[in-house]
C-alpha cells in the first residue's frame, strides 16, 4: 500500500511542471501572470465544484467547517496556492522547467522539515535526523549543479 502512495505522490509531482508550463503559455495569451493564475484557479474551482456535487453528500458539514475552523485554515489553497502558482509562472521562462521545479521543491522541503520538526498545524512531529538533513542538502546541491551548467 505504501508503494501506491509513493506512486501517487510521484504522479502528483509530475503534473506540476505540466501545470506550470501550460500556465506560462497562458500568461502569453492573457499578458498577465495574475490573470493566468486566475483562469487556472477558476477552472480548477469549477472542476472541484462538479466533483464535489457528484461525490459529496453531507453538505451540512460545510457550514460547520466554515463556522468552527480557525481563520488561518483558509490560507491553504487561496493565498498560498496563488503565491506558488504565480511565482512558478514567473520563474519558468527565466529558469526553465527543471530548475523551477527543483527550487520550489527545495523550498517545500525546507518548510516541510520545519513543520515536521516542530509539529506545526497540529501535525505529528518527525524530528530532523542526519539522513533527512543529507537528503535536503543533496537537493540543494542538485540545484547548484543544474544552474551552474
- The full length of the chain comes to 149
Regions of the chain short of the pLDDT cut 50: none
Distances (CA, A) of 62 to 57, 58, 113: 10, 8, 31
What pTM was estimated for this model as a whole? 0.78
pLDDT of residue 46: 94
pLDDT of residue 77: 67
pLDDT of residue 125: 96
pLDDT of residue 62: 78
C-alpha grid cell, residue 147:
544552474
What digits encode the pLDDT tens for the residues 15-49?
988 899 999 999 999 999 999 999 999 999 999 88
C-alpha grid cell, residue 52:
464535489
Amino acid at each position: 500500500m505504501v508503494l501506491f502512495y509513493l506512486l501517487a505522490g510521484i504522479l502528483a509531482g509530475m503534473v506540476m511542471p505540466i501545470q506550470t508550463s501550460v500556465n506560462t503559455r497562458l500568461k502569453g495569451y492573457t499578458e498577465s501572470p495574475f490573470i493566468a493564475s486566475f483562469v487556472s484557479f477558476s477552472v480548477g474551482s469549477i472542476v472541484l465544484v462538479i466533483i464535489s456535487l457528484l461525490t459529496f453528500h453531507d453538505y451540512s458539514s460545510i457550514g460547520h467547517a466554515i463556522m468552527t475552523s480557525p481563520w488561518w485554515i483558509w490560507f491553504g489553497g487561496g493565498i498560498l496556492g496563488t503565491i506558488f502558482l504565480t511565482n512558478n509562472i514567473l520563474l519558468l521562462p527565466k529558469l526553465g522547467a527543471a530548475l523551477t521545479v527543483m527550487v520550489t521543491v527545495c523550498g517545500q522541503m525546507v518548510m516541510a522539515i520545519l513543520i515536521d520538526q516542530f509539529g506545526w498545524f497540529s501535525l505529528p512531529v518527525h524530528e530532523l535526523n542526519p539522513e533527512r538533513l543529507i537528503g535536503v542538502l543533496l537537493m540543494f546541491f542538485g540545484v547548484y549543479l543544474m544552474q551552474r551548467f
